Structure 1
């Protein structure tokens, strides 16, 4: 019998080898389809998206536009100007340009700029990057402009995958070694998580090819974090239950079957809740958010499949010796544990539940007030934690040419209406000048220079006024307009997606817990955690991390992730509490027992998940770093404050009402506190 069971384990491993082989041709292609331009994040209906599409079809629409910036404090010398002229001639000789670059000096004489535009690279990003690098090797000044910024952004996003993966693996490995205290066991879930990550990249690429799902560096980074974070959480729960069953069951195969029966439903329900929450992002209009939804869900589901099939097969094949030196022998009893931290927490919540609930709620509310101090939307040039050359050039231009925007707005109008659009633009307040540009395909481009700095309140007002004056059928785009459209779209998405996530998660919880009150407690708890985590982020982003603003998508994405992941842990706690009530325990005793028996696993899982998201804080993109910080803080608050104190104290106060209107709400306890207390879950 045992030999046959081992054959089953080896059969599952063989099946996974086949899956990996089939996924290999697709997994390596995901990076090739990433799109990280600001316009790629926007909905197709946005004005700036229409402008980008139309201008690409105009003559020279696939041009790479650069700005060469020569600057010296105190003023450029004659030698500086001669050097600039010579280097520009070298660029002109080496590359076909659309026009001869002309010097534009600043009023104070400290800066000289040359506008360079070439169609040589075409639409190929690799060729564009090569062109930008060649110009930078030729020019001693700073090279900025849209083409240089796109190259710098592409290189930053391209550099994420390796460091992100290595750092995440290292963090998870260290935590697993500490948790398991075994030289071997920690490696098994880590390898399985790596396989799940490999599979998720292949599935995400297939989704992109089949359904045109948007893929960005942000979404793939979050997917990797979710695979390792959520996958390791599922592994902790399964291994913990498997260790218990090995003491009760002689054969590892039977012990694993019992472990899957015991914790499988909770893992399935929690992962399903997270995936459904992610899929709610499909209702977003923002292209990047809509693409992140299925990508993140793929990561969670691949982690679930790997941890409930591949991990059990490996553990069964390796047998009890994988736990060395703390091998759980059949018939053995675990060492008597001292009074646990979670028992102490539960006791304090049980003695003074009202005081604990009021104090904890007040603390979360106070932290949430910090969100009122949230810095304004981060500008495009401030979205890097370091300063790429294109951003440095942009800042130099902004200081040297304060009388005009360094990022002209682009208006596209039907050629028949181009003259009227040009006159309207020139008459609009806040516009310094407007000039007719290229024409083709029935459209004409108009370049508009605003009086205010890029992405300032003044320029934003100018964009809105332009759009209102120009009317339907005429579009206003450019970098600043893209940022404005992003902010407006994110605000719309919050109004749609937030209620949808709450509705979906509530329905799942009601079906799982067969109660209305318990799900509402969990929902209120995770919403409070989100507000508090966002408030903490608002208080530290600028003074501690030096971020000049916050990502417009941060409130929505952090809400979706914290609600879905927070409810994930709530399911483990409430599900165990319901089991205790079904076994006849008093509701207060059931709440404290559930905390005592699941607290260790939930704490370990919370630490792993928070640590994996904290890896994003070290990434060179401000939106990713802010998202990682808020989620990590939220998970820690949820694990050590909300789950342990607030949910427990609320359950103690409400008693059987927590299960209303289900049958448990009216069922009297057979003998309060009767029966032996279950063995605490050990990891």
Structure 2
């Protein structure tokens, strides 16, 4: 039954039905693709679980008369001291800011001048709205437009929570289009190089492009259903679809071209290719989907949202490669491989890369001579690369998440030089028992090394809201580390119902949730992948070997990425969610190649024994897996074009890890370990006893 379903697109009439039905369904989903960006939520509070203390504090703030506010802080600075003309401009700016204000923009406060006479700030509160970006972005942008350009020697920057949010929204708003074009361009070029045909590349490219459009439309529907999607998820989605989809296309086309050299009938060749490569593609796709779905239990909502969205994208890519692609192959036939001046059209009896020829067979023969030293030495090299994981520093924050010059970051630096640095993002302390508000304020004022000011910001049914200004940069990791202490101080004075929130507390809670997610989801992902490999390979030893190889490969990629990020790119730390995301991508996508390899090795081992089966499997899958690895690394490398540090880091780590897995782990270490283990690698299946 499964075989008949897999080969349905190879039928003489069924190929047309399958093509039309799937294109119509995917086209319908793609019609909603343009709405995905508008459904994204990019404010940090939406990423946190509802039971985080900073989220509870935010909910309480909304019950006060002023409600939740994001201060837009206009920072002025002249290093030699503000002139009379500067002060006249600053005073006049307040009137401009208050004239004909946009929706969500509240009245600007009078300017505050620094004690050293070199700087001034104006605070204009902005209501956050629904957090989706459009109205809020228009509101904050109107403030930025009205403050004007810097004069000679006078710097003018927009910072504060509203400024940081505006810069983040602008960055995220350009992600989808930039990545779509970058990933599509990389895949297009690589397909042309791989197939050396001016025609054939269009078949897999159309299949994956159709899946990408459908995935963005389905992503919008998931957002409407309540899944939290931010710009990071929206940016990673096309990379996943292009990368995974192209990998599956390369595997199927490779087997199809192999069968065209054995069979005259293109329909028969398509059917055999589907029966042979289809189960491996299905197993690989389900492995990636299952691994991504483990993210759904994350406390960090942005990570949890990536789970179903990414799994949906990979599922649509896999289905397209098992329906649209084979239908087009059966329609176009062997002539689609035509290239002027080259003998690229496969025909029966033609010699191709097989188990006795080619580069990868020669690599296998060399590995087979001394398999144990090969995998031991390879493992040592990976462990050396992994050693830098011990220097993992998850101190990346909102304040250093951007690449290049950003107004909000530079404005925060102006404040840090001339005012209490925390003035741009005060903490919110909610005292439920109004009678204890003064005691809480006094206790916090006593923390003179941490706090510069405490004032009452509001009174209401939720109690008393205190606005607490930090002495140091509120986005610095050292300031975030003080949150547990300040919460303890506030609760001792105000009781258990006292809450500490605000941007700094939100960043701290994000780290706590991310740490919990790392500790829970990484082992769970390994168990899920291990279980799928057991079912696929009908063995316990082979899946264990593959899991160990992927773990060490991931550690090597992460260690290398940390070193490169710090010493070459010059970035400070990594985001708290990066280790988990990099792990899931590398394990889920990296295991693909091991599935492609070991599924073919098992098929060959049944006929020729484990040693020869490994060499044949490596020979016939080497080229296609290498091509797939280069494509996947290229698509993830496209993340490096974005001005966000975390996406650049993820892009490098995953791209490097995929190449490491493709050229070292899958091609050298795993075959060496399998050959060294011998038929015991298939234990406890009958193959472990009958293998010759």
Task: Give TM-score, length-normalised by structure 2.
Answer: 0.92
SS at 1:364 equivalent: helix
Is 1:34 paired with 2:40?
yes
Is 1:332 paired with 2:349?
yes
Which residue in 2 is equivalent to 1:101?
A: 109
Asked if 2 retains the 8 angstrom alpha-carbon contact of 1:64 and 1:121, the reply is no
In 1, Cα distance between equivalents of 2:497 and 2:505: 16
SS at 1:94 equivalent: coil
Which residue in 2 is equivalent to 1:502?
A: 526
Is 1:473 paired with 2:481?
no
In 1, Cα distance between equivalents of 2:458 and 2:59: 14
Provide closer, same or farther for how the CA distance between residues 122 and 558 of structure 1 changes in structure 2, counting only shifts above 3 A: closer
Provide closer, same or farther for how the CA distance between residues 593 and 90 of structure 1 changes in structure 2, counting only shifts above 3 A: same
In 1, Cα distance between equivalents of 2:297 and 2:96: 51
Is 1:133 paired with 2:141?
yes
- Measure how far apart 1:52 and its partner are: 2.4
Is 1:173 paired with 2:173?
no
Provide closer, same or farther for how the CA distance between residues 25 and 445 of structure 1 changes in structure 2, counting only shifts above 3 A: farther
Provide closer, same or farther for how the CA distance between residues 100 and 245 of structure 1 changes in structure 2, counting only shifts above 3 A: closer
- Measure how far apart 1:5 and its partner are: 4.7
- Measure how far apart 1:20 and its partner are: 3.5
Asked if 2 retains the 8 angstrom alpha-carbon contact of 1:64 and 1:122, the reply is no
SS at 1:612 equivalent: helix
Equivalent residues in 2 for 1:426-437, closer than 5 Å: 426-428=445-447, 430-437=450-457
In 2, Cα distance between equivalents of 1:291 and 1:581: 41
In 1, Cα distance between equivalents of 2:218 and 2:476: 41
Provide closer, same or farther for how the CA distance between residues 286 and 20 of structure 1 changes in structure 2, counting only shifts above 3 A: same
Q: Which moved further from structure 2: 523-532 or 433-442?
A: 433-442
Which residue in 2 is equivalent to 1:92?
A: 98
Provide closer, same or farther for how the CA distance between residues 20 and 213 of structure 1 changes in structure 2, counting only shifts above 3 A: same
Which residue in 2 is equivalent to 1:82?
A: 88
Q: Deviations over 1:2-44 (max 9, x none)?
A: xx95432222222134214432443222212101111111111
Asked if 2 retains the 8 angstrom alpha-carbon contact of 1:506 and 1:523, the reply is yes
Is 1:310 paired with 2:333?
no
Partner residue of 1:113 out of 121, 137, 143: 121
- Measure how far apart 1:249 and its partner are: 2.3
Partner residue of 2:584 out of 555, 560, 584: 560
Q: Deviations over 1:400-432 (max 9, x none)?
A: 225755421111232535344333333346222
In 1, Cα distance between equivalents of 2:131 and 2:313: 31
Is 1:617 paired with 2:625?
no
Asked if 2 retains the 8 angstrom alpha-carbon contact of 1:613 and 1:628, the reply is yes
Is 1:187 paired with 2:202?
yes
In 1, Cα distance between equivalents of 2:476 and 2:97: 33
- Measure how far apart 1:370 and its partner are: 1.5
Is 1:23 paired with 2:43?
no
Asked if 1 retains the 8 angstrom alpha-carbon contact of 2:431 and 2:497, the reply is yes
SS at 1:238 equivalent: helix
Partner residue of 1:528 out of 538, 552, 555: 552
Equivalent residues in 2 for 1:410-421, closer than 5 Å: 410-416=428-434, 417-421=436-440
SS at 1:541 equivalent: helix
Provide closer, same or farther for how the CA distance between residues 559 and 52 of structure 1 changes in structure 2, counting only shifts above 3 A: same
In 2, Cα distance between equivalents of 1:120 and 1:360: 53
Q: Deviations over 1:137-179 (max 9, x none)?
A: 2213212111122121111100111111011111001111110
Equivalent residues in 2 for 1:579-658, closer than 5 Å: 579-583=603-607, 585-658=608-681
SS at 1:445 equivalent: strand
Which residue in 2 is equivalent to 1:238?
A: 252
In 1, Cα distance between equivalents of 2:171 and 2:376: 45
In 1, Cα distance between equivalents of 2:210 and 2:372: 46
Asked if 2 retains the 8 angstrom alpha-carbon contact of 1:398 and 1:406, the reply is no
Asked if 1 retains the 8 angstrom alpha-carbon contact of 2:54 and 2:501, the reply is yes
Provide closer, same or farther for how the CA distance between residues 102 and 181 of structure 1 changes in structure 2, counting only shifts above 3 A: same
- Measure how far apart 1:511 and its partner are: 1.1
* Structure 1 portions without partners, runs of 5+: 670-683
Partner residue of 2:213 out of 181, 198, 204: 198
Q: Which moved further from structure 2: 395-404 or 598-607?
A: 395-404
Is 1:276 paired with 2:290?
yes
SS at 2:41 equivalent: coil
In 2, Cα distance between equivalents of 1:502 and 1:461: 31
Q: Deviations over 1:334-366 (max 9, x none)?
A: 257895332232122111112111211111111
Which residue in 2 is equivalent to 1:677?
A: none
Asked if 1 retains the 8 angstrom alpha-carbon contact of 2:26 and 2:211, the reply is no
In 2, Cα distance between equivalents of 1:529 and 1:420: 54
- Measure how far apart 1:560 and its partner are: 1.0
Which residue in 2 is equivalent to 1:157?
A: 172
Asked if 1 retains the 8 angstrom alpha-carbon contact of 2:94 and 2:110, the reply is no
In 1, Cα distance between equivalents of 2:56 and 2:549: 42
Provide closer, same or farther for how the CA distance between residues 48 and 120 of structure 1 changes in structure 2, counting only shifts above 3 A: closer
Asked if 1 retains the 8 angstrom alpha-carbon contact of 2:69 and 2:128, the reply is yes
Which residue in 2 is equivalent to 1:464?
A: 484
Asked if 2 retains the 8 angstrom alpha-carbon contact of 1:95 and 1:120, the reply is no
Which residue in 2 is equivalent to 1:676?
A: none
- Give the CA RMSD over aligned residues: 2.2
- Measure how far apart 1:134 and its partner are: 2.2
In 2, Cα distance between equivalents of 1:249 and 1:403: 73
Which residue in 1 is equivalent to 2:382?
A: 364
Q: Which moved further from structure 2: 625-634 or 342-351?
A: 342-351
- Measure how far apart 1:200 and its partner are: 1.0
Provide closer, same or farther for how the CA distance between residues 438 and 530 of structure 1 changes in structure 2, counting only shifts above 3 A: same
Provide closer, same or farther for how the CA distance between residues 24 and 455 of structure 1 changes in structure 2, counting only shifts above 3 A: closer
Partner residue of 1:389 out of 407, 415, 420: 407
Asked if 2 retains the 8 angstrom alpha-carbon contact of 1:121 and 1:131, the reply is no
* Structure 2 portions without partners, runs of 5+: 1-9, 149-155
